[in-house]
Chain A
Amino acid sequence: METGDDDMNNPDTEKPSKVLTILLIKGPYVSEAADIAFQTALKAKQMGYIVNVFLYLDGTWNSHLTGDKNYNNPGDWLKRLIRKEIQVTLCERCSNARDLTEENIIKGVKIAGSTKLIDYLRDSDKVLTFGG
Chain B
Amino acid sequence: MTKDEYEIDLGFIITKAPLESSLGEGLLTLAHHAINNGKNVGFFFISDGVWFVKKNQKNTTINKLKNLIEKGATITVSKDNLDAAGIEKTDVLEGITISEKPYQDLVALVMEKWRRVMTI
Instruction: Quote the shortest CB–CB distance from A55 to chain B (angstroms).
Output: 16
Interface size on B, as a range, is: 10 to 19
Instruction: Quote the shortest CB–CB distance from B106 to chain A (angstroms).
Output: 6
Q: Which of A2, A31, A44, A132 contacts B119 (CB 8 A)?
A: A132
Please classify the interface of chain B as helix (H, G, I), strand (E, B), loop, or mixed, using the class held by over half of its residues: helix
Chain B positions within 8 Å of A18 at CB level: 111
Q: Which A residues, 1 to 58, have Cβ-Cβ distances below 8 Å to chain B? A: 1-2, 4, 18, 20, 31-33, 36, 39-40, 42-44, 47, 49
Chain B positions within 8 Å of A32 at CB level: 15, 47-48
Instruction: Quote the shortest CB–CB distance from B18 to chain A (angstroms).
Output: 16
> Is the CB of B104 closer than 8 A to any CB of chain A?
yes
Closest to B115 in A: A126
The answer to whether A43 touches B103, judged by C-beta atoms less than 8 angstroms apart, is yes
> Do A39 and B111 contact each other (CB < 8 Å), given the known contacts A1-B80, A129-B119, A132-B120?
no
The answer to whether A128 touches B119, judged by C-beta atoms less than 8 angstroms apart, is yes
Closest to A20 in B: B111
Q: Which of A2, A42, A49 contacts B111 (CB 8 A)?
A: A49
Query: How many A residues face the partner with a CB closer than 8 A?
Result: 23
> Do A43 and B15 contact each other (CB < 8 Å), given the known contacts A126-B110, A132-B120?
no
The answer to whether B107 touches A44, judged by C-beta atoms less than 8 angstroms apart, is yes
The answer to whether A2 touches B107, judged by C-beta atoms less than 8 angstroms apart, is no
Q: Which of B15, B104, B110 contacts A36 (CB 8 A)?
A: B15
Closest to A3 in B: B103
Complex: A130 Cα to B16 Cα, angstroms: 11
A-B CB contact pairs (8 Å), 21 listed: A1-B80, A2-B102, A2-B103, A18-B111, A20-B107, A32-B15, A32-B48, A40-B107, A43-B106, A44-B111, A47-B107, A47-B108, A125-B111, A126-B117, A127-B117, A128-B13, A128-B110, A128-B117, A128-B119, A130-B15, A130-B119
Beyond A32-B48, A43-B104, 5 additional pairs, beta carbon < 8 A: A2-B80, A36-B15, A47-B108, A125-B111, A126-B117
Closest 10 CB pairs of A and B: A43-B103, A32-B47, A44-B107, A2-B103, A43-B107, A1-B80, A39-B103, A126-B110, A129-B119, A18-B111
List chain A positions with a Cβ less than 8 A from chain B: 1-2, 4, 18, 20, 31-33, 36, 39-40, 42-44, 47, 49, 125-130, 132
